[in-house]
Amino acid sequence: MGAPATAGRRSHPAMPPSDHFRYDEVVVDADRSTISCRYTTGGHTFTERFTFAMGGDWDAPAVRAAVRVLFLLAGVSYFKTTAAPLIDLGDHPTTQAERAFLTGFYVHGLGEFAYRNGIDLRGTVVTGPDATPAPPVPYEPDQGRPLIPFGGGIDSIVTVEALRGDHPNAALCIVHPPGDRFAAIEGAADVTGLPVVRIAREIDPLVRRSGELGFLNGHVPVTAVITAAATVAAVLDGRDAVVLSNEWSASVPTLMADGHPVNHQWSKSEEFERGYGDLVRTSLGPGLSVFSYLRTRTELWVAQRFAGLTRYHHAFRSCNRAFHQDPARRLDHWCGRCDKCCFIDLVLAPYMARTDLDAVFGGAEPLENPANEAMFRALVGLGADPRPFECVGDRDECGAAALLAVSREDRAGSVVLRRLAGELAATGLGAEAVAAGLLEPRGTHHIPDRYAPADLLARAR
């Protein structure tokens, strides 16, 4: 693992000199329902395209405002190629508040990237022409028509099932590469039976030549870009909400580096949700709400509810190897050996029968494989390895899941679980007390009353 992000800024030895990243232009092709975002850095110009499989009025002020928001966020995949200290917004005016949001987006959203590459992004400057603060553009959609970004995992499935009863006009939003679909998403989407709004996202092929061209490489806050693309789709379709499925623990840093938080899930955090929501409101007004339905919920709460949604149990697949960009390297089953497979198995183990989870993983359940013990130890905070850079729960959630699971009769023979639980119990951690606390709402949320579940409305009062 690389040096902490607070190390001095260093240049990549093979990278051409570059001291700025420039926003060039955003072009809307209404005939093809395509948005092209262009950026320049290090002597290269990059274009990212989004194609929307839907109609809509591309000239509407609200649509143009949403396109502008997407343009501001989509540059992150190309900024990282040089990590230039100056971000030049070119001819695109922004307010001081918007530039402050963008600065945080680049610095915190790329925290893991900076940590792994041993660079410091905290001195990054965002500059460009000033925009005079103005009232938001008019946007008055019909109420009760949410758009739900859907990744096929237990979180978005739980959100869908919680909303669909009271909001029958809900739709899924799926972002995928042009001409390609991820079976791991499509299978679960089919089970929902809801209509799907599709967006084809085409990343500039230059970024796939990082080694050849000397670009820096690493994790980007892709959830933010997907959220912004879904915002455009929602406005095109006259919808009143983009409903995300990001849990409470997405706000917990993956690690601390020299006293500063580094969060693999920053673009799923409450901090991003709050800042992005402010950006949308100042651009579009109160007509569109962007929020996470699961913000106050823990991973254990989500797992408990998913356990009861049996029709999805053989349709979902959260293994990252199901999402490889190269279809030839994409798995059509759970690998059973990655951090994500281990976490999903662990968090569901208290609430699903061992035989059922074994069937989910095709007879290769991670908890029953001693070779995975080091990964489980990292998840619960007992191992020498740090918490993985992955979309997983925090150590309290994982530890509670292990303690709850080992108490099940059908886990009596689980060697890995018994070893983990024994060490956790020695710390004084009690499953019942921890689980009770982790099944209650935590923190703050940004759900408008028309979408908030009853227990959160009662809690607010």
In the chain, where are the structural domains located? 20-132+143-292, 299-438
Q: What angle do CA 89, 95, 97 make, to 5 degrees?
A: 110
**CA atoms within 13 A of residue 212's CA, in its CB half-sphere:** 5
Return the closest-CA partner of residue 196 out of 212, 177, 176, 211. Answer: 176
**Tokens representing residue 338 in the block:** 């990655």
CATH of 20-132+143-292, one of 3.30.70, 3.40.50, 3.10.450, 3.90.79: 3.40.50
Specify whether the CB–CB gap between 173 and 233 falls below 8 A: yes
Write out the chain's pLDDT in tens, 461 residues: 333 333 333 433 334 446 899 999 999 999 999 999 999 999 999 999 999 998 899 999 999 999 999 999 999 999 999 999 999 999 999 999 999 999 999 999 999 999 999 999 999 999 999 998 899 999 999 999 999 999 999 999 999 999 999 999 999 999 999 999 999 999 999 999 999 999 999 999 999 999 999 999 999 999 999 999 999 999 999 999 999 999 999 999 999 998 899 999 999 999 999 999 999 999 999 999 999 999 999 999 999 999 999 999 999 999 988 888 788 888 889 999 999 999 999 999 999 999 999 999 999 999 999 999 999 999 999 978 889 999 999 999 999 999 999 999 999 999 999 999 999 988 876 677 677 789 999 999 999 999 999 888 777 54
Give helix 96-109 / helix 270-284 axis angle, nearest 10°.
150
Residue ranges in 221-298 assigned as alpha helix (H): 222-236, 270-284
Residue positions counted in the chain: 461
